[in-house]
Amino acid sequence: MKSKSTPTNVLGILLNGGQSRRMKTDKGMLSVNGLTNVDRMNTLLNRCQVNEVITSGQQADSIADLYPLGGPLSGILSVIVQKKPSAVVVVPVDMPLLTSSAINALITQGLAQQKACCYESYSLPVFIPVTDLLIDTLTVEFESDRYQQDGKGPSFRYLMNKIGCRYLPVIDSQALINTNTPQEWDNAVKFLQQRP
């Protein structure tokens, strides 16, 4: 629901920059019923309370990472720097059972409290208000000697501790299943094909 009703500039970010090592194929291009994960998740985000959807990754129509191999937070920072939204809601390409109601619950709570929101025990999906603290924290981490030496970006846990996060109770754990292996993907596809 790209929206005139969305009270602030909420940008949907689809993370599609992973290396898919365990899957051994590009997770974004896996398909169910003729739709790739990129297309399915893009459609899902467009049904949510966002003004626009942007894909983060190396594909032609995506925003590339400012800090290569820096992980999902590098992708998020790269989109924020280029698009300058007031807030973002971030979903991974490999969460095929995710629902718009799960995403909208994060947006609603996050906007109401002006605080990052995610589900207990899950880093993604996540709603994050864009603040100077967020941008400064990520920039300092990616410009640090540690990142320059080992190439590993900060973790979601570190970031959420730094900026503050509200953890919502999980209502539908199946919607939050992440598919990193061929077996996990096959199980998710079977479930999707049984959905009405």
The confidence score (pLDDT) of residue 88 equals: 98
Domains parsed from the chain with CATH numbers: 10-194 (3.90.550.10)
pLDDT of 101 above 80? yes
pLDDT of 3 above 80? no
Render pLDDT for 117-126 as a digit per residue (tens, 0 to 9). 999 999 999 9
pTM: predicted TM-score of the whole model, two decimal places: 0.90
The average confidence (pLDDT) of the chain is 88
Q: Please check whether residue 80 is in contact with residue 91, taking contact to mean a CB–CB distance below 8 angstroms.
A: no
Q: Among the residues of the chain, which ranges form H helices?
A: 37-46, 72-83, 100-113, 132-143, 145-150, 156-163, 182-194
Render pLDDT for 6-54 as a digit per residue (tens, 0 to 9). 457 999 999 987 655 555 566 677 777 888 888 999 999 999 999 999 9
